[in-house]
Structure formats: structure tokens, C-alpha cells
Structure 1
Amino acid sequence: MINPQEVIEKYSIKDLCESADDYYKSIANPWPQMAKPFSSVVEAPELLINMGQLLSGLKLGKTMRVLEFGAGACWFSRFLSQMQCATVACDTSATAIGIGKRLFHEYPIIGDYVAAPEFLVFDGHRIDLPDESVDRIICFDTFHHIPNQEEVLAEFFRVLRDGGIAGFSEPGRYHSRSPQSQYEMANFKVLENDVDLDGIFKLANRIGFEQCQATIVNAGKTVFFIHKGVAMPDSRGHEGLAYAMKAERTSYKVGRSEQLVIDVDILNSGGAKWLCKNFGDLGVVKLGAHLYDANRNLLNLDFARSCFARDVLPGESVSNAITVTFPHAGKFYLSLDLVSESICWFENVGATPAQIEVTVQ
């Protein structure tokens, strides 16, 4: 029975990086790597379950910059880009990164990228990114191959922004004893280490990570998260979107060609920060108006918009105004709601819009 510590003592970090690249060089047909998680009917269910647990705990938002550490053929990075994240794929194997570039080129995502995918080769010690430059880190079935866990965790802490989360999906604490792990360590220069959560969490705490969470999923697999500071959600995702809104008046009479200006006071009563600007307007919060006829039939969902001058933090109150002009004379109803662009209307997650009755003469 090979002890993983023997592998760590026998091979240098450079040796292990080279063996990882040799593995990818030996692959004659990369399609099974590129087609994950659907390349195997046996592996797909487990991979999808673990992916779901990981994505749920990371609390991703559109346009977040996400580092996939140990990306391999970059199939997970491609799905992150599909979810409109700004993806950085990093691996010790330049050959694997080359396969990933081919995957993105030959099978691009549906729609537009929020940012072109980035690709990095990891030297085993330092991630080639500036301090505090990523929002999230994903490590999917990779950390148990890492001999210098404390050094790598320190790099995660360095490149994560305050409030960032690193999420891991890894095998269990007896991984090294499995027949497959023993075979790999006996025949190839590869580390198949056990995942000791207590030990990993102690290292993480010593480095500065504050919150550690773990979930045991199917077949003893472990999904766990470490947080740098407190993660405040923002309007790039659904979590924490709520308000209390009060309009200056609830009924108006205006002339047919007259512009109506409606003043409102709004409290951010949720836990998420409202962004006033972002790439492509994604996740930007605005005051919006739906237009209904006299029988409250919807005429125009996106009747009007009004921007905020600054970000709005949880607990803050702001004043805003929206200007509207009606298409013809008659009786109308306006429903004033907030929208996080390309994310959702706040009403869809439980907020109560302000109702305005307007008579156009």
C-alpha cells in the first residue's frame, strides 16, 4: 500500500507538473476530455451532482471573474463562460491548456462572451495573476493532486478579492487507498492524496480564510468552500434582492403630450448591493415601469427606465424619479419595480411594486 507522503517525498513539484503534462501528451484522442461531463454514462451522474453542489455554494453572478484551478481540458471553464462569467482557466499542463483552447475555438458558447477566456499555465508555485483580481476560484477534482497545499492556498488567498470564495469538489479522506489510486501512484508520477478537511481548514484559517463549509455528497465525495472575508451578494445574482418603495403620489392626471415625472423613495431592504454600472449593463439595477391599460392588461413590460447615480448598499435609502409619456388619452396603470438588467425584475423574487393610476386627458 503506497502512502501518498512517499510520493511527495520522492518527486519534486516540477516532477509532478511534468508528469501531468506527459499524461495529456499521451492522449491520442482528446474528445472524451473535451466532452465532459457527458463523455461517460457512468461518470456523468456523479460529475453533475458534484457540479451542482459546487455551483450552488459559490453564489456566482454574471460577469464575475472566476479562476478554474486545475482546469485540464477546460470543459468546466467553458460552462462558466456560458453562464456569462469571465473565465480564467489555469493548469500545470500546457498541453491540457492547448486542448482547452481548441475546445473554446471549435465549440464556442451560445451567444456572446462577457470577456474572452483567459488561459494560464501554473508552475506549481505562483498563479500568474495580480493580487485581488478574481471573485471566485473553482477547484474540481484537482486539490488532491497538490503536494504543497499551504503554498497553493496562500496563492488562492492572494488572488481572491475580499468577499471571494474558493470552492472545491474532491474525493474523500481514504482516496489514496482505492485500487485506482494505488495503480496511478505505482505506475505514474502522480499524487493521489487523501482529502483531510480538518487539515485543509486549519491551513486555510492560518492563511487568513475565515469561513469553511463542507458537504458530503454521493459516494463519499466532498464539496467544500473557504471564504476570504464576508461575501456580500450583489445584483449580478438573484440572492438578496429586495426593496421597500414609496411613491410621492398614487394617482395623477396629465395632458396627452405631457411628460409625467414620478418621484419615489426606495429602501434597499435586502442583503445585496445594487450596482449602478457594470460590463454590458449586466446586473445593473434601475427603476422601471410596466404599463397596463384600464383593465390592467399588460401593454408594455419595459415602458420606462431610470438609472441610479451610485451603488446602493443594503440598508440604504435613495430617492429616484422616472419620466413617462403616454401613447394616447385614457386611463392607465403603472407598476413601478426595480430591475437588475439581464437578471430579473425584483417582483419575480418577492418584492412589491408601487402601483400608480394615471388619467391621460
Structure 2
Amino acid sequence: MRKPSLHQLGESAKHFIVKHLPAGSTDRLRTIRAVVPERVRSIDAQAPRPAGAVDAKRLARELSVEELADTADAYYLNNMEAKDHWLAKPFWNVADATDTMMVLGQLLAGLNLSPGMRVLDFGAGSGWMSRMLTQLGCEVVVCDVSPTALELARELYDQYRVLGDKPTPEFLLFDGATFDLPDADIDRVICFGALHHTINPQEVISELGRVLRPGGRAAFAEPGANHSIDPKSQYEMKNYTVIENDILMRSIERWAAQAGFKPPQLAVFSTTPFHLSIDDYERLLAGRAPGYRHLYSNREFLKRRRIFMLHKHGDEMADSRSVDSLKATIKVSPTTKSLPDNEPLRVSYTLTNTGSGRWLPSSAPVGPVQLGVHLYDLDRTLHDLDHHRIDLGPNGVMPGDTIEGTALIPNPGPGSWRLQFDLVSDRVSWFEMAGSTPVWVGLSVEGASTKP
């Protein structure tokens, strides 16, 4: 049987909409426009360059990598009156903050970060994103072609100190062609609006593929196929010799394949707020008509932006730094349910890793898995969240594996108690919060009081 064409499917959708929308609906035309497929245009379709406009490709050909690095540094040096703006990013003004934070959310979600990952912030500028990644517990390589930008980044870290015990950032000057990093040294790459400023994007993508570990990911926020003729881009190129290249996804796809990446994946979203009434929201949740308007809003935004992910070939096993991988079955057997005061409780335990990631060993700085004990009274009122923790050894636990052991639990003192045994990925999450079931053990401790 012959499959219906895209046009035929679109026509069917149009007739369905016309039949089911209320008569006279003002939304009908836009609904049809959003659902019926337009003629498929190339993602890289470009408008003619206006007469007299700067040709970004020609400008790139006229500059060497070294000259571009010098112009990038001069841009910062000659615009130091904007220093506060750079250090305040992304919160310099409301409009920029709204757009930037929504795009950043897409990048972070696409990277699937975990604390302790080594992340290269390519084109870091003043380091605003690097600092956020450090605060999230990542080991950040702050990388830029401009020495002045890296000095600003150091100043940002000094002025707005990272809270808590987090990895120290590394500052790396990029020479425009290669990263002074070993092969397979980086877990993740993030690039917010820097790739389109390079004159050698193919070479840069190849280098990113070299320094990424197998299974690593790179996330990019870039403009679209007509960026170079945008008025702001023309202004920057005329006055600062900044390269404002168009981003052509078919070229990115080809270069990425040569560098060891899978085909690019593009994020579908919009930074333009989209709101519905309660009634329309209910219809949207039910899969009815109002969803078309969101689709239309996204489409208009996506014509101008390219937020995409590159995933390097190879296997990357998840581990206990990722909440999604924290699943287990827990069995605990005490030798007794009644103790004299000051005598520890001996228990035996059997733990099975039923999740998708390896439990990191006790030596890991972030995410080592331990068996923890919460202390409650008979009314299940919490008395001590961290009554005791048990290290599970130096080797870690692979998915599907089971470990057994015994441990001594400190005596909680006279009274009747309930001990809850749950696994914890240190500095990440308790397993119960990720959906696993903890185990309860009752305990009576002899003494003057029968209840705390």
C-alpha cells in the first residue's frame, strides 16, 4: 500500500482542524498554517547579502588565526568601560538575562552534567558561565583566545567567590588552533556563542573531538544561517574586525562526523514567553488545538538560532554522580532487636545495584556510595539524619552486582527507636529521593527511659 505524502497528511490535518474548531474561530487560519507543512527549505537557506555589506567569509580569509586572536584581545582592551557589563553577565539587563538563562538551561540539560566532571568552557570570555559550572561542582577549564578575557574571568572568581568545597578552575589560553590538553581529557564541552567567531570552525570541532573522552558531549548556542547580515553583526565587523560567521548545520554535521561525533541534535524551544488561559492549558494537556501556537512560536525563534549538541562516539557509563542512576535493593538483618546501653548494634547487609550506573568507591571526591542510617523514634520523628554511614569499599559496584557485609551501628542511647537504612551518593542524593525503597529496623535500648 502506498504511503500518503506529507502534503496529503497536512491536508488531512487541515480538514480535521476545520471540522473540530468552533465556527468562526479566529485561530483557525494560524492553526492550519502551523500544522500543514510548509515547503521544506534547507536549514542553511541564506538571504542575499545587501549591497555594501561586509562579507564575513571574505573577512575570515583575510585574517590569520594569530591576527584574529589579537583582534579578540584588542576588543576587550579597547572596551574596558564595559567591564562591569562583562562581569555582571548574564544579569546585566533583563532582556539579555531572560534569553541567556533559557538558552543556558537547554545547554545544561543537553550535557547531562554530573558533579566532578571535567568541563571545557570554550570561548569563556569573562568566565560567567565557568563560575556557574564551578558552583555546580564541575572541574572547569576556562578557555579563551584573549588573555585579557581570562584576566577578567580570574577577577570574576575573586569578586564572586564560589560557595562550598568545589574544584579549582583551570585557566587555558587558546592559540586559535589547538588546545594545550591531552587526548580524551575532557568529559563535556560548552560553547555559548563562540564558534561563529572563529575563522577555522572545522579545525576547532576536530580539536574538540580530540580532547573529549569517548561518549563525551559538546553543547553549542550559536546564531543561524543569516547571522552575518544582521545589523548588529555588520556593526561589529565594521568597527572591531570581529568575525560574525553564519552557522550552517550541514557543514557542522560533516565536520562533526570527521571528528568522531554522531550527527548533531538540535534543541526545539523558544525564549519567547508563551502563556495560555486555564481552559486552553487543559486543552493543551489533552492534546487539543492550542498546542499549534506554541509550535508556531518555536518555529519563528528557531529560524534565527541554532542550539545543538554533539555526542562523541563511544561508551560512557553513568555513575553515582548522576541522580538518575541511583537505584538499589537493600536488605538489612540485625543480630538482635534489643540492646543494653552503650553496646553497638551489629547488622549484616545485602545491597544490589539495580540502576544504570556504577557506584563510585569510597575514595571518590563526589558521589561515593555509602550505606547510611537515619534515626527515628517510634512516632517516626527524625532525630538524626546522619546517625551513621558505612563505607562500601575501594572498588565500587557495577550495575547488576551485589555486595554483602557486616557493620556496627552506634548505640543511640536508651529508648525505643526505628533505624532507617538507605544508600547515599555523597554530595549528590539519598537513594530514597531517587525512588529506591529504604529498610526499617526496630531497636530497643535498655535504660532509665523507654522512649526518647
Offset of 1:305 from its aligned partner?
0.7
Offset of 1:47 from its aligned partner?
0.5
Offset of 1:248 from its aligned partner?
3.8
Q: Which moved more, 1:153-162 or 1:24-33?
A: 153-162
2:420 aligned residue: 335
User: Matched residues in 2 for 1:19 and 1:213: separation?
Assistant: 32
TM-score, normalized by length of structure 1? 0.93
User: Matched residues in 1 for 2:390 and 2:247: separation?
Assistant: 51
Q: Secondary structure at the match of 2:156?
A: helix
Matches within 5 A, 1:7-156: 7-29=59-81, 30-112=83-165, 114-156=166-208
Offset of 1:331 from its aligned partner?
2.6
2:337 aligned residue: 252
Segments of structure 2 that go 5 or more residues without pairing to the other structure are 1-48, 271-300, 447-452
1:349 aligned residue: 434
Cα pair 2:362 2:391 within 8 Å, conserved: no
Q: Decide which structure has greater strand share.
A: 1
Matched, 1:181 2:266: no
- What's the C-alpha RMSD, in Å, of the aligned pairs? 2.0
Q: Secondary structure at the match of 2:323?
A: coil
User: Matched residues in 1 for 2:56 and 2:240: separation?
Assistant: 13
Are the structure 2 counterparts of residues 217 and 145 from structure 1 closer, same or farther at C-alpha, using a change threshold of 3 Å? farther
Offset of 1:278 from its aligned partner?
5.0
Superposition misfits of 4+ residues, deviation over 4 angstroms:
none
Offset of 1:115 from its aligned partner?
2.6
Matches within 5 A, 1:167-316: 167-210=219-262, 212-218=264-270, 219-220=301-302, 221-228=305-312, 229-248=314-333, 252-278=337-363, 281-309=365-393, 310-316=395-401
CA displacement 1:275-300 (0-9 Å, x = unmatched):
11456x42211001111122222221
Cα pair 1:11 1:189 within 8 Å, conserved: no
Offset of 1:231 from its aligned partner?
3.5
User: Matched residues in 1 for 2:92 and 2:143: separation?
Assistant: 22
Q: Decide which structure has greater helix share.
A: 2
User: Matched residues in 2 for 1:68 and 1:222: separation?
Assistant: 18
Q: Secondary structure at the match of 2:114?
A: coil
Cα pair 1:276 1:311 within 8 Å, conserved: yes
CA displacement 1:93-116 (0-9 Å, x = unmatched):
11111111122222222334x232
Offset of 1:320 from its aligned partner?
3.4
User: Matched residues in 2 for 1:93 and 1:277: separation?
Assistant: 40
Cα pair 2:206 2:258 within 8 Å, conserved: no
User: Matched residues in 2 for 1:140 and 1:332: separation?
Assistant: 53
Are the structure 2 counterparts of residues 325 and 121 from structure 1 closer, same or farther at C-alpha, using a change threshold of 3 Å? closer
Cα pair 1:251 1:356 within 8 Å, conserved: no
Offset of 1:187 from its aligned partner?
3.6
Q: Secondary structure at the match of 2:308?
A: strand
Q: Which moved more, 1:288-297 or 1:211-220?
A: 211-220
Q: Secondary structure at the match of 1:43?
A: helix
CA displacement 1:232-275 (0-9 Å, x = unmatched):
33222322211112234697333333322222211111122211
Q: Secondary structure at the match of 1:49?
A: helix
Give the letter aligned to residue 307 of structure 1.
D
Offset of 1:11 from its aligned partner?
1.7
Cα pair 2:388 2:410 within 8 Å, conserved: no
CA displacement 1:198-227 (0-9 Å, x = unmatched):
321221122112363210333332221112
User: Matched residues in 2 for 1:206 and 1:249: separation?
Assistant: 58
User: Matched residues in 2 for 1:19 and 1:256: separation?
Assistant: 74
User: Matched residues in 1 for 2:63 and 2:202: separation?
Assistant: 17
